[in-house]
Structure 1
């Protein structure tokens, strides 16, 4: 059996190795460039985030400062109003000021007087407030309850839920238009009485003021 000798085999092998080395060498600069671009892009992203944060911080501080200033001014306004009403005959109870009139007016005129004072006719929301009002009542006094389209509503538009009517009230006495409500001091439980809005009575104003 004869052996076949490939005389050029070493040369072919060396050529392949040489060519492989040349390919690797030629690819190296491209790889380095890619890495440089990737690193540069990453640094740009970091710089952008840092810039956004640095710009946002002054804006947030400015907004917070504005909010605190507004809250301070609102509190000062409430304190000034609180002091003014305390020195001018208003009584404070459970987050509200109450004013007792010294003259008599119709229900609409009584309400207008309260509105001019920055308040409205009193809304009685609880038995505790009813008990407090009883102490202030002088004979008959208008409260902020009236009938609209046959429905009893407070001056803020809410419908009557809890009531403290005198016995037999409301009764629209003698078929009159008793569409407004007084609190009655002569009755044992100081309950409510419906009356014609055109009648003249004392009244009670209320100004909500929670500090």
Structure 2
């Protein structure tokens, strides 16, 4: 009996660890409303902040709102985020999103898998310690950039 308890406990730990590392995008049947100043897309809420921050400082600010830097899971969602930025800046402003390179793999700061990618030609190239993702680079696509650069950012929850 004790052996089965140990195996069951280990199995639960492995399952919990896997779910934390690569959480799938979940669709909430009862999507709530977004807080004031936030825009809804699907079952998520997004907000563009036109204040320049480093990637880690922007992520910290997003966490304070109960979210993360935005993860992008399909082209329609990406177009929605681009329109939201253009409505504020009247331009395709280069903006932080939640992509980050960790040990050679690109991941989202919210823990979801990076299944949709729209890198600019030749990117990501890791030129000069470029481990963070900006959007609206060449042709509106993504670029890897030094995380200490300061840019506006998009949060999502």
Please give the TM-score of this superposition, normalised by the length of structure 2. Answer: 0.71
Q: 2:145 maps to which residue?
A: 195
Shift of 1:177: 0.5
* CA distance in 1: counterparts of 2:50 and 2:114, whole angstroms: 27
Distance 1:202 1:136 in 2: 13
Query: Which residue in the other structure is 1:123 paired with?
Result: 71
Among 157, 174, 181, the residue aligned to 2:133: 181
Give distance in 1, aligned partners of 2:50 and 2:116: 28
Gaps of 5+ in 1: 1-74
Which structure has more relative contact order (CA 8 Å, sep 6+)? It is 2
Q: Is this contact kept in 2: 1:151–1:159, CA < 8 A?
A: no
1:40-84 Cα offsets, whole Å, 9 max, x none, are: xxxxxxxxxxxxxxxxxxxxxxxxxxxxxxxxxxx8xx85xx36x
Shift of 1:187: 2.8
| Cα drift, residue 105 of structure 1 | 0.3
CA distance in 2, matches of 1:92, 1:157: 20
Please identify runs of 4+ aligned residues in structure 1 that moved more than 3 A. none
In the aligned structure 1, how far is the partner of 2:125 from the partner of 2:111?
Answer: 22
Count of equivalent residues: 122
Which is richer in helix? 1
Q: Tell me by how many angstroms 1:157 deviates.
A: 2.8
Structure 2 SS opposite 1:170: coil
Match of 2:15 in 1: none
Structure whose residues are more often strand by fraction: 2
Please tell me whether Structure 1 or Structure 2 has the larger radius of gyration of its CA atoms.
1
